[in-house]
Amino acid sequence: MSPKLENKRALVTGGGRGIGAAIVRHLAREGAHVALSYVSKPDQAQATAKAAEAFGVKALAIQADSADPTAVVAAVERTVRELGGIDILVNNVGIAVIAPIDDYRLEDFDRTFAVNVRAVFVATQAAVKHMTAGGRVINIGSCNAERMPFAGGGVYAMSKAALVGLTKGFARDLGPRGITINNVQPGPVDTDMNPANSDFAKMLVQLMALPRYATGDEIAAMVTYLASPEAGYVTGASLTIDGGFTA
């Protein structure tokens, strides 16, 4: 059987490590040429690109701060230029600043919105100009859009809830062009930024139906499905993969 995404061209924002890196590897394994953007840790980003190349596809790492709209557009344009087009955009990059309402800084609010929401809009607007029918846009939201069980996470939850509405609205814009857009809402995932063996993790696991963190590969598998031909009738949806966190 041929790989499901053979010769497709993809950009994964924030693809250097964590969930993003897992998505890059899964797309490459299914035959997609992949670009990934990163803001720091270039060694990790280059290692992820090399891991993708091991599947026999083209891969490139692009330094771009998603808080900068010009850099976001430039990353899309470089992807198109070096891979010959773009068929799949995964808006994965995101930040979380957790602080009580009385102490929350306006600059942290602005950067959270810029990275978690505005960058999704900017990248999507830039990418769909180059997409044809069959194109895919996949946003990485969070189950915190539906449940925020601890104090200090209101701004993060707001930013991820915004993706639900953005996804639904853009589905109407893009549907007539044969392009789908969906929103994946992970629960706690074992990454270097949120390790499964921390005291914070022990608290979260108690709130879940499945008492464990997800792996990045589990999230990437859902993203790969949405990027595949099998998901051609799925659009405007927010798909939760959270071990029962919101159950």
CATH code for the domain in which residue 25 is found? 3.40.50.720
Residue 35 lies in a domain: yes
Residue 233 lies in a domain: no
CA distances from 199 to 150, 204, 205 (A): 14, 9, 10
Looking at residue 2, its pLDDT comes to 78
Residue 239 lies in a domain: no
Structure tokens at 102: 């009385």
- Structural domains in the chain (count): 1
Cα distance between residue 61 and residue 49, in whole Å = 6
Catalytic residue flag (residue 156)? yes
Q: Which of 92, 24, 94 is nearest to 58 (CA)?
A: 24
Of the residues 38, 104, 156, 233, only one is catalytic, namely 156
Residue 161 lies in a domain: yes
Residue 205 lies in a domain: yes
pTM over 0.85: yes
Residue 96 lies in a domain: yes
Measured in degrees and rounded to the nearest 5, phi and psi for residue 93 equal: -60, 140
CB 93 within 8 A of CB 13: yes
Mean pLDDT of 49-76: 98
Give the DSSP H or E segment for 236: none
Residue 66 lies in a domain: yes
Residue 100 lies in a domain: yes
Cα distance between residue 152 and residue 99, in whole Å = 4
Range of 100's domain? 9-228
pLDDT tens digits along 192-212: 889 999 999 999 999 999 999
